[in-house]
């Protein structure tokens, strides 16, 4: 078994791993990348360039100032860069297998549907669209043209989160009573990014908490909630000036009795803080924070730990690599997408109800 197969087997749930059947590297996939901005350069481009099963054919980037920066950063002097106006011709290439979409969210749906209609498999950073209608359209195109679509909810591919979800689905904690999800970012993104992330006024929900909502949907097997109540505040004066919250708590209630709390902050001074707890009638399953180093220094005065990871590229380094392997296996027909249409649509529906609660400042019912 090669290393890629071993990793895929490790990170996929039992039912998906059993279907993957990867036996070798095989032909390298020819891929294109759309967008060379923040998430592409922090995480994805390095994984794509260094992956032995991928052959990067081109990158599109509409900001001419980004092109020389990205070329120098990754040593891509021989990789052609284009603009989005060149996409119709680029996507018509018969030897192109798949595309990665890392452009602003408002462009995702159009690019996803255009790529799928040209017979290309698609990996798109979350979310696949700006609303429920767009996300449903993306998955309908995937079904119509028979090509896989993977949305980048990377926590799905992190071993601690997977182990907890597996335990819950195997009834190891009994009937779920409460779920608690915590996301506290580090370092705080730039104000330019925070001011432009979306136009809803609740980017903290659509950009950060959306990952935890995806986990909630996965745990509950896409059950529809009964209600959601979103409460926000801007402690940062600059963020208050451009109308974006830096702190949020959401409470979600299910008809079966499950109560979920999601607390999110744009900045934690002590490091990147990501936790999850599922409390049930028979026990508890939890994901706690890894530290930069597992060593502990203990003495009569107490114990000293290293700090938490600085940010998401460090904390989820392995999950991003696992996510990439899974997409490749789906393109090669060796696995089925772990993130389904039903789950993505439910996550989008919950986000829309959450935004409605944010605007109305009261609980909203489904």
Question: What are the domain boundaries of the chain?
Answer: 3-155+318-335, 159-315+346-365
Centre a 10 Å sphere on the Cβ of residue 283 and count the other Cβ atoms it contains: 12
Residue pLDDT, tens place only, 299-339: 999 999 999 999 999 999 999 999 999 999 999 999 999 99
DSSP character at residue 23: -
* Cα–Cα nearest to 248, from 210, 292, 289: 210
Report d(CA 133, CA 321) in Å as an integer.
30
Report d(CA 364, CA 159) in Å as an integer.
34
Query: Which pLDDT belongs to residue 5?
Result: 40
Is the pLDDT assigned to residue 255 strictly greater than 80? yes
Q: Which two tokens stand for residue 91?
A: 């996507």
Query: Which pLDDT belongs to residue 26?
Result: 66
- Asked if residues 333 and 198 have their Cβ atoms less than 8 Å apart, the reply is no
Percent of the chain with pLDDT over 70: 93
- The backbone torsions φ and ψ at residue 57, rounded to the nearest 5 degrees and listed phi first, read -95, -40
Q: Which two tokens stand for residue 28?
A: 């390298």
**pLDDT bracket for residue 258 (50, 70, 90):** very high
Mean of the per-residue pLDDT values of the chain: 92
CATH number, span 159-315+346-365: 3.30.360.10
* Cα–Cα nearest to 264, from 337, 320, 222, 213: 213
Report d(CA 181, CA 288) in Å as an integer.
11
The CATH number corresponding to 3-155+318-335 among 3.40.50.720, 3.40.50.1370, 3.40.630.10, 3.30.450.80 equals: 3.40.50.720
Q: What angle do CA 110, 112, 116 make, to 5 degrees?
A: 120
| 101 DSSP β-pair partners | 34, 124
| 250 DSSP β-pair partners | 230, 262
Q: Which two tokens stand for residue 31?
A: 């891929």
DSSP H or E stretch at residue 16: helix 14-20
Report d(CA 224, CA 353) in Å as an integer.
11
Report d(CA 68, CA 100) in Å as an integer.
20
* This prediction's pTM: 0.89
Strands 149-152 and 259-265: unpaired
Q: Which two tokens stand for residue 131?
A: 């609303």
Q: What residues contact residue 58 under an 8 Å CB cut-off, 6+ apart?
A: 32, 33, 79, 80, 81, 82, 90
| Mean pLDDT for the stretch of residues 112-130 | 97
């Amino acid at each position: 078994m090669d290393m890629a197969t071993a990793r895929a087997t490790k990170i996929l749930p039992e039912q998906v791993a059993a279907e993957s059947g990867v036996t070798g590297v095989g032909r390298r996939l020819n891929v294109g990348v759309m967008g060379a901005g923040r998430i592409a350069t922090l995480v994805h481009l390095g994984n794509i360039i260094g992956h032995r099963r991928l052959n990067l054919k081109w990158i599109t980037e509409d900001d001419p100032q980004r092109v020389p920066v990205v070329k120098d950063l990754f040593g891509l002097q021989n990789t052609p860069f284009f603009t989005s106006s060149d996409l119709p011709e680029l996507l018509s290439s018969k030897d192109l297998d798949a595309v990665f979409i890392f452009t602003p969210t408002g462009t995702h749906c159009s690019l996803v549907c255009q790529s799928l209609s040209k017979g290309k498999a698609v990996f798109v950073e979350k979310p696949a669209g700006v609303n429920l209608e767009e996300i449903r359209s993306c998955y309908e195109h995937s079904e119509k043209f028979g090509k896989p679509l993977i949305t980048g909810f990377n926590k799905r591919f992190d071993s601690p989160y997977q182990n907890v979800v597996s335990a819950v689905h195997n009834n190891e904690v009994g009937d779920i009573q409460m779920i608690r999800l915590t996301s506290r970012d580090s370092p705080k993104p730039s104000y330019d990014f925070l001011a432009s992330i979306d136009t809803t006024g609740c980017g903290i929900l659509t950009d950060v908490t959306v990952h935890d909502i995806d986990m909630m949907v996965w745990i509950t097997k896409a059950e529809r909630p009964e209600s959601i109540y979103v409460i926000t505040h801007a402690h940062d004066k600059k963020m208050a000036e451009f109308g974006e919250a830096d702190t949020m708590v959401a409470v979600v209630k299910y008809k079966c009795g499950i109560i979920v709390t999601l607390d999110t902050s744009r900045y934690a001074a002590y490091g990147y803080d990501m936790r999850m707890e599922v409390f049930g009638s028979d026990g508890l399953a939890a994901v706690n924070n890894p530290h930069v180093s597992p060593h502990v220094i203990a003495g009569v005065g107490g114990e000293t730990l290293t700090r938490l990871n600085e940010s998401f590229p460090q904390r989820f380094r392995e999950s991003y690599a696992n996510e990439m392997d899974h997409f490749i296996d789906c393109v090669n027909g060796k696995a089925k997408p772990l993130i389904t249409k039903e789950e993505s649509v439910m996550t989008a529906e919950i986000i829309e109800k959450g935004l409605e609660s944010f605007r109305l400042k009261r609980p909203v019912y489904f």
